[in-house]
Amino acid sequence: MRIFTFLPLEQIAQIEEQMKAAPEKREAQRLLAEEVTRCVHGESGLTVARRASDVLFGGALDGLSLTDLLAIFANVPSKELPHDAIVGKPVLDVAAAAGLFASKGEARRLVQQGGLYLNNRRVSDIAQVVASGDLIEGRVAVLRAGKKNFCLVKIAG
């Protein structure tokens, strides 16, 4: 912190005390990441990084625009599918068509185990279909299998 940030030494000492009291909170690591991001990308870059972290670790997609999502998921696998192959189709079929699973059976098992998400909301029903309201700005949906396996599904065209 002393080397990589411009934080006052008093604040760094306070953070060290907090870290000794509760190391599991990882406050020093979080603050260091924020300060480095702010120095490199500015305040707006830090805001985008925070939102991306929230989304990638299961936070809600509410309030995010299409542009935000495309930036956050720029390095995540994506698949373009026709509108007819997404809207009104079972989430399992869309996930399989997007290549998130090798088979619909694998997708079905993950739903039963509570590990398939559409726009970071758990899919609890095998028969759940993708509604037009599930598409962000009518163009994309985010599928997630487990904690870290994402796929951005885009409407082709």
Alpha-carbon distance 12 to 20, whole Å? Answer: 12
Alpha-carbon distance 138 to 132, whole Å? Answer: 7
Number of H helices, E strands in the chain: 5, 5
Name the β-bridge partners of 116.
145
Total-model pTM? 0.73
pLDDT at 64: 79
Task: Enumerate residues 6+ apart whose C-beta is below 8 A from 95.
Answer: 101, 107, 116, 143, 145, 151
DSSP H or E segment with residue 147: none
Q: Which domains does the chain possess?
A: 9-56 (no CATH), 76-155 (3.10.290.10)
DSSP H or E segment with residue 60: none
Name the β-bridge partners of 54.
none
pLDDT mean values, one per 10 residues, the chain (157 residues) = 88 92 91 91 86 79 82 88 94 91 86 92 93 93 91 89
Q: Reduced to 3 states, what is the DSSP secondary structure of residue 145? A: strand
Name the β-bridge partners of 155.
81
Alpha-carbon distance 66 to 126, whole Å? Answer: 27
- Sheet architecture: strand order including 149-155: 78-81, 149-155, 140-145, 116-118, 121-122
